[in-house]
Amino acid sequence: MTSPSRLLDLLGIAHPIVQGPFGGGLSSVALAAAVSGGGALGSFGAHHLRPDAITRLVADLRAATARPFAVNLWVPQPGEDAPVDLAPYRERLAPLYRRLDLGDPPDHLDLPDFTAQVEALLAAGPPVISFVMGIPPQDVLAEAKRKGIVTLGTATTVDEAVALEAAGVDAVVASGSDAGGHRGAFLKPVEHSLVGTFSLVPQVVDAVSLPVIAAGGIGDRRGIAAARALGADGVQIGTGFLGTRESNASEVHKRMLHSDAAKVTVLTKVFSGRMARGIHNGLVDELAGADLPHYPVQNALMQPLRKAAAERGLADYVSLWAGQAAPLTAAKSAREYLDELVGPQN
């Protein structure tokens, strides 16, 4: 078992635990601050935010906690900026919109601009920036290093971890296919990159010299001990923190996380255009096999529908992101959950 000291020193934290970042409005300043305040690393998923909102976010996080925190961005994948004819996709989704009395699907989409986002984030200078879906541009990593910002890159395979180390990130999150939410595969298709956490972590530990943070299927102290035994310097836990009171997940989402439904999770592109793991529901089946546009187009088209369904408590229309360890977690505050993960202190 490795010592977590190099990860603790790198991140400036007391406990080798990273709260997984949630995009799409599921993160909250209160959650990140509670986790950071408890000595772990709180995170905020910002891939959906405009640059000015990212600037405000970092200021709000600094006001909420004096401890280190991370802000997460998604690296664009090739082809995602290609023009898309919205007409056939709007037509396909129109019956769903009418079913929820939402009018017509949007004909103008507000899509994220990664370059503008990352420029704003670097200017704001958070203690840590984490990335998923790819390797950040070299100039971004160089500027982060110049400003003393720690960078975390997410790998779903050993080859991705090696590529991230070569690019110059400071630590690697080894994200097994057990993990909830979006799969971050970027060297090969997701379908060719579904490596379980138990298989992935020791191989990544052997392949890179950087601190390795294990993610996927970790929900309690047993999972942390297992990850450490596999050689990980620390762990990243998403679903467990997503179900806490401070999380910005909807009440129906939290209810489903702590129900028997969480025993069955599936991989689907239905809600965003990128493959993600969530609790099986009606919309996953209804749109299965449908021709869907890529991210971020599908994500933007589905956003009004997801938002309305969450507000009305309609579980069949909500993206119920969850990892395979969801049944190991329970509803409680973030600090209560973190204290359970850390255990008694000597």
pLDDT at 344 over 50: yes
End-to-end alpha carbon distance in the chain: 19
The DSSP string of 174-201 is EE-TT--EE----SS-GGG----HHHHH
Task: Give me the count of residues in the chain.
Answer: 346
CA angle 103, 108, 114 (to 5 degrees): 130
Average pLDDT, the chain: 96
Per-residue tokens: 338: 């973190």
With contact defined as beta carbons under 8 Å apart, do 249 and 22 qualify? yes
Residue 309 parent element (H or E): helix 297-312
Residue range 264-280, pLDDT digits in tens = 999 999 999 999 999 99
For the chain, which domains are there?
A: 5-85+104-248+329-342 (3.20.20.70)
Q: Is residue 59 packed enough to be buried (19+ CB in 10 Å), middle (13-18) or exposed (0-12)?
A: exposed
For 4-55, the pLDDT digits (tens) are 789 999 999 999 999 999 988 999 999 999 999 999 999 999 999 999 999 9
Q: What is d(CA 100, CA 155) in angstroms, rounded to the nearest whole number?
A: 38
Query: Tens digits of per-residue pLDDT, 112-127?
Result: 999 999 999 999 999 9
Q: How far is CA 136 from CA 115, 154, 156, 197, 232, in A?
A: 10, 11, 15, 23, 23
Helix (H, G, I), strand (E, B) or coil at 322: coil
Only one residue has tokens 């110059």, namely 168
- 198-220, pLDDT tens digit by residue? 999 999 999 999 999 999 999 99
> How far is 89 from 105, CA to CA, in rounded Å?
9
pTM score, two decimals? 0.96
Indicate the residue type of 118. V
